[in-house]
């Protein structure tokens, strides 16, 4: 998903990682971390496509795998995503959307509804909520950072997503947030 408000970066404007004496960021992160990050982005993109196409996930997921996943794998320099994580997030969000929205709604400004949010923001918040609620082994800061970055990358309001995730994290993982 490209944000039309931000023009693409010209190849000549990008720093040459080799000239900096460092490997590109995706090569520095462990393979398992890149797979999990890619699965999060894939989940948000899939949730967006389910909404945009008004097609069921059972149709969108295979289409996503055929048309968009190859580029994602190349971008993250991986051979596969964390498939269990991807499918769990996508189908849990779709199965429990009303419950998830009920947790997020009180954290929004007065008068705001989930329908008022962009689909990128909704999808990122819903996916993050599932991880915060169901995957206690994943550090809260990792969930917050990853989904905030996804919102930014996909043209969402990343500052808003970060603020809501901070409040949601304090509700769902108070002890971890209090510990720092």
Q: Which spans in the chain are helix H? A: 25-28, 31-53, 57-67, 69-76, 83-95, 97-104, 119-134, 140-153, 158-172, 174-179
Answer whether residue 7 shows pLDDT above 80. Answer: no
In the chain, where the domains are located: 23-179
Answer whether residue 130 shows pLDDT above 50. Answer: yes
pLDDT tens for each residue of 15-60: 333 333 344 555 577 999 999 999 999 999 999 999 999 999 999 9
- The residues near 171 (Cβ < 8 Å, ≥ 6 apart) are 103, 107
Q: What is the pTM of this model?
A: 0.83
pLDDT tens for each residue of 71-103: 999 999 999 999 999 999 999 999 999 999 999
Mean pLDDT, the chain, rounded, equals 87
- Give domain 23-179's CATH number out of 1.10.486.10, 1.10.10.10, 1.10.940.10, 1.10.645.10: 1.10.940.10
Q: Is 113 exposed, middle or buried, given 0-12, 13-18 or 19+ CB atoms closer than 10 A?
A: exposed
């Amino acid at each position: 998903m490209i944000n039309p408000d931000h023009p693409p970066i010209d190849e000549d404007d990008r720093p040459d990682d080799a000239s900096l004496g460092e490997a590109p960021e995706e090569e520095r992160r462990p393979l398992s971390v890149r797979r999990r990050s890619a699965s999060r982005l894939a989940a948000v993109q899939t949730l967006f496509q389910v909404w945009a196409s008004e097609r069921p996930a059972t149709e969108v997921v295979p289409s996503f795998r055929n048309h968009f996943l190859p580029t994602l794998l190349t971008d993250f320099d991986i051979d596969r995503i964390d498939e269990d994580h991807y499918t769990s997030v996508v189908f849990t969000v779709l199965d429990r959307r009303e419950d998830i929205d009920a947790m997020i709604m009180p954290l929004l400004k007065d008068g705001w509804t989930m329908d008022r949010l962009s689909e990128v923001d909704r999808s990122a918040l819903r996916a993050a909520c599932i991880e915060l609620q169901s995957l206690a082994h994943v550090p809260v800061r990792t969930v917050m950072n990853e989904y905030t970055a996804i919102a930014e990358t996909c043209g969402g309001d990343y500052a808003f997503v970060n603020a809501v995730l901070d409040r949601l994290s304090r509700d769902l993982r108070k002890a971890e947030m209090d510990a720092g």
